[in-house]
Structure 1
């Protein structure tokens, strides 16, 4: 009788949701999920191997990491499949690591599975209030078509023995570059971190930041971005190699910081310097910081294409990626060091205990406000104009 009373105390909608998820888990068992994800990090690759082992044991889902270098290639492949008439369960991609302009393109072209993400049982633990980018990707509403996986915020790092008073704005960074010519640079566009540096400069120099929350108006683009180009024109002569050449990646810059050639590096992972200190690739005197008024932040996600062969298996994997266990492991700097999307206050004491609580050398001591990304459609025109002006 007690069991019957408990069952009737559960709202009908909750019972229905539980039954629906049980059916998804049942259908997922035995499926193979082809997860197309960037493979440029040994830590990330090792983490996905652990995920594959966990979902195979717990849910009978086989996870195959399809290693890619550019998510845009996945977007092109799924678009080609749609143009070729490949229908539901006829695609080659089950799950994709995605955000920004790639998500915007897939959403606009109808390349994604109908809304599913917010029906995942573990989505209830996501911090959608304190981390609003978990529902908003480069100013494009996710509408349940991608599931949040990790957080990112544009962050600088430097050896405090060489740079005891780091710049707190683009204006201060320019002043530092003038005082220390040749010792600052940023990655060549279209590297993601390099583009983010330029977008941060755009936010810091634009007359009305609200225009960046909407797609650019072609007739207004030159006027709106004029302060950005004036800033970069003033900055570049004082950069490494006088701004005539740019490193290809943030990893190259990180190495030059370690060697003492450059004063500061930049990353989209606030824990990267702590990761590098723990791996003994940076000295413990390196500190991380964000601009006082804030830096660009966003969430990275996983999405399921409209024609995934194993959509149930993909949802089971996405739900596991949102579990406290998987998020805590990912947040551990000895594993990956990727900040969680979860609201720790929504977790049980046992779940919260899995997350690291002690600040480590190299971590951001005082997180700054998170500034929203410009709308995804700003990326292409800004990158093209940068390449036209400086990329040759």
Structure 2
């Protein structure tokens, strides 16, 4: 009898230890950061990711919500597709990506670490990606590990991989996935401007405005559309005639004095056209705060031109009624039409990281990209030469039309974006010189604003 009781106690003890041990393993597997660690080590298969994504159930997708047709695509196409994979899309439509970046950085500073944040997925590029990377606020090198990564060129020896591997000159490190490719394209209202009078250079734009004062403006920096206009002016007025080339260097490599020297002719041009811009005759040039305001000015013929990112922006403007009926694209500024890609990134403290990866993998499929292109006029971010013939044909057939220009003409006039480390310095210089009218040598202003940004 005593032997039986002893065996029973041993069996109970063994069972208890097994339960405790299993519980500890389960807790370890579900501990914050464990999924990230195992995925980045290559220890998880895609079926493990999709299973965890279904368990998480939701992806909080933060993205610029200023386009009704993109919002419709997210709601009517992407959301049902991801629901079929067990992931509910919670779209968080924002007006400024920087605000979301600030939220992520603030959460991490407050101790909300892995899987404890609020943002799962963010549409990002340029200085916003640079800020997240500088603050070590990104989830890790996931992009080349997803099944649909085969749709992108990652070979660094192939020059076509540049925009996948560098974002505003900053190495992506596979910490973001390309989502769309865009170009800074201007439209013209043919009801007011003939083909012969359409400017192709900044000198020609100034001549047009001298004859038609007030009929042009650009979005106010630090909005990215305003920054891009300013950058294209700087490229065109590079005193060395090397265009965008020196602006590919980072700030430390280029130096403040050299940046000021390169910028000076362009800044002088911006100062010279101020009286010719919308409202400039009164001494108060009017700079719209965003693309929506500029669209309204263009639609109402208050300005004759509309410059913003959007390879198919003219088409989208026509079908939504946001553009005048006689709007056409134009080649301006010739040789300096900035082109880049935008991306999807996962913050370090994403609360549903597996769901974020599943969402990104869907967004990176040829099917989703073709649908996005056809429905929302949003150019593809993947690389057509990496696709099957059938997939490439589907995407090409989905592309909206151009008006007044050809795709080849757009391709022939591209320029790279400015290095992300220079963007904040350039926009702060614009605010000092153009908005606040600071009357100091440009080198002093650049030194001042760069010092303030680094503090």
Q: What is the deviation of 1:361?
A: 5.1
Note the 1:21-32 alignment, pairs <5 A. 21-31=46-56, 32=58
Q: Equivalent residue for 1:34?
A: 60
Asked if residue 83 in structure 1 is aligned to residue 124 in structure 2, the reply is no
Is 1:66 the counterpart of 2:92? The answer is yes
Conserved? CA contact 1:146–1:304, under 8 Å: yes
The Cα of 1:314 is off from its aligned counterpart by 0.6
Match of 2:331 in 1: 290
Q: Deviations over 1:44-96 (max 9, x none)?
A: 22222231221111x11122112222221222222122222333212211111
The question of whether the paired residues in 1 share the 8 Å contact of 2:59 and 2:352 is answered with yes
Match of 1:351 in 2: 391
The residue number in structure 1 matching 2:440 is: none
Structure 1 residue corresponding to 2:268, chosen from 230, 251, 263: 230
Counterpart contact for 2:329–2:402, Cα < 8 Å: no
Q: Cα gap change, 1:290/1:130 in structure 2, threshold over 3 Å: closer, same or farther?
A: farther
Partner residue in 2 for 1:256: 297
Q: Could you list the runs of 4 or more consecutive aligned residues of structure 1 that deviate by over 4 angstroms after TM superposition?
A: 16-19
Q: Which runs of 5+ in 2 are unaligned?
A: 1-40, 437-455
* Partner Cα separation in structure 2 for residue 359 and residue 317 of structure 1: 25
Equivalents in 2 of 1:285, 1:245: separation in Å?
24
2:306 equivalent in structure 1 = 265
| 1:211 counterpart (224, 230, 246) | 246
- 1:19 offset after TM fit, Å? 6.9
CA distance in 2, matches of 1:30, 1:54: 17
Q: Which moved more, 1:194-203 or 1:259-268?
A: 259-268
Closer/same/farther in 2, CA of residues 307 and 271 from structure 1, 3 Å limit = same
Residue 268 of structure 1: CA displacement? 0.2
* Structure 1 contact 91–307 (Cα < 8 Å) conserved: yes
- Structure 1 equivalent of residue 181 of structure 2: 151
* Higher helix proportion: 2
**Aligned ranges 1:289-328 → 2 under 5 Å:** 289-291=330-332, 292-328=334-370
Output one character per residue of 1:115-174: Cα deviation in whole Å (capped at 9) or x when no partner. Answer: 011111212112565463222111101110000000111100012342213222222222
Aligned-pair Cα RMSD in Å: 2.2
Q: How many residues align?
A: 374
Flag structure 1 segments of 5+ consecutive residues without an equivalent.
1-15
Change in 2 beyond 3 A, CA 1:375/1:21: same
1:390 corresponds to 2:428? no
User: Are the equivalent residues in 1 in contact too, given 2:377–2:400 (CA < 8 A)?
Assistant: no
Structure 2-normalised TM-score? Answer: 0.77
Q: Distance in 1 between matches of 2:404 and 2:385?
A: 22
The aligned runs of 1:350-369 (5 Å cut-off) are 350-357=390-397, 360=401, 362=403, 364-365=405-406, 366-367=409-410, 368-369=412-413
Query: After alignment, is 125-134 or 19-28 more displaced?
Result: 125-134
TM-score (norm 1): 0.89
Kindly provide the CA deviation profile for residues 215-268 of structure 1, in whole angstroms up to 9, marking residues without a partner as x. 232333332221111111222221111162222223222222222221111110
Superposed displacement of residue 17, structure 1: 7.7
Distance 1:288 1:167, change over 3 A: same
- Structure 1 residue 372 and structure 2 residue 416: aligned? yes
Q: Distance in 1 between matches of 2:346 and 2:109?
A: 18
* Alignment of structure 1 residues 121-160 onto 2, 5 Å: 121-127=147-153, 129-130=159-160, 132-160=162-190
Structure 2 counterpart of 1:179, from 211, 236, 244: 211
Higher-Rg member (1/2): 2
Question: C-alpha separation between the residues in 1 aligned to 2:326 and 2:161?
Answer: 30
CA shift at 1:277, angstroms?
A: 1.4
Q: 2:258 aligns with which of 217, 220, 226?
A: 220
Moved more, 83-92 or 140-149: 83-92
* Secondary structure class of the residue paired with 1:112: coil
| Contact 1:28 1:312 survives alignment (8 Å) | yes
Alpha-carbon shift at residue 283 of structure 1 (Å): 4.4
Alignment match, 1:8:
none
- Do the aligned residues in 2 keep the contact of 1:271 with 1:362 (CA within 8 Å)? no
Query: Is the CA contact 1:277–1:361 (under 8 Å) kept in the aligned structure 2?
Result: no
Shift of 1:26: 2.0
